[in-house]
Amino acid sequence: MNAAATQAVDVDAPLVDVDAHVVVCPTRWSDVDENGHINNARLVSYVQEGIYDLCCHHPVAVRESLFPSGFLIARHEIDYLEQLYHRPEPLLVRLTVARLGRSSAHVVVKVCRDANTFMRARTVVVARDAVSGRSRTLSPSERRFLSGFLADDAAPVVPPRVAFAAPRGSLSAASSGHHPARRRLSNPAALTRGVPVIPDGRRVR
């Protein structure tokens, strides 16, 4: 896997999202396929390197020990925009958050060089629970961290569920036919289809 380095964002440079996390990612000769350009599978790995850098190597993520049990890649939606060729100049992988849910973040990743965007991906990243290995609710610190990368056109943030004590008399109200509305939960299995990744880079089998 290529070594990735976090780079400060220059707001005067082209194609830069002010709220983006930017990772410098070089290409390698071994990334080139028989057609002479960077293989599409390698482009996906640049996306995953960017997400790993954001969640595990960002100074705030390290200082506050965010995502201690890693994360799950639940979904990739990818648009290949242009053919990418191996050159000495590194790629810039730019990440912003398009939507922040209760347990997941929809991350938009753009793989760029100079003024060109070669690939755009929308990836669903889910916080992983250490015990079950499945999705869990984002912690307040993780939500605050990810909120810093919300794009200007991001969807409204989904608030976390808040537990509260039932008011006195609620049981009698329910028995009289006044039932509080119930929210149907989405299928949690749909958020755990992917390879779990923990901060030291190992994959969980």
The angle formed by the CA atoms of residues 64, 195 and 56, to the nearest 5 degrees, is: 20
Q: Percentage of the chain with pLDDT > 90?
A: 55
Q: What is the pLDDT of residue 185?
A: 37
* d(C-alpha 173, C-alpha 154), whole Å: 40
- Whether 145 contacts 127, CB under 8 Å: no
pLDDT per residue over 62-76, tens digit each? 999 999 999 999 999
* d(C-alpha 139, C-alpha 142), whole Å: 5
pLDDT per residue over 154-186, tens digit each? 665 666 554 444 444 443 333 334 333 334 334
pLDDT per residue over 1-44, tens digit each? 444 444 433 433 444 455 799 999 999 898 999 888 999 888 99
The mean pLDDT value for 100-128 works out to 95
**Quick one: DSSP state of residue 203?**
B
Token readout for 84 is: 């990418």
**Quick one: DSSP state of residue 137?**
P
* d(C-alpha 160, C-alpha 135), whole Å: 14
Q: What is the pLDDT of residue 60?
A: 96
Residue, of 146 and 34, whose pLDDT is higher: 146
The angle formed by the CA atoms of residues 121, 140 and 199, to the nearest 5 degrees, is: 55
User: Which has the minimum average pLDDT: 76-80, 89-93, 160-164, 192-196?
Assistant: 192-196
Helix (H, G, I), strand (E, B) or coil at 86: coil
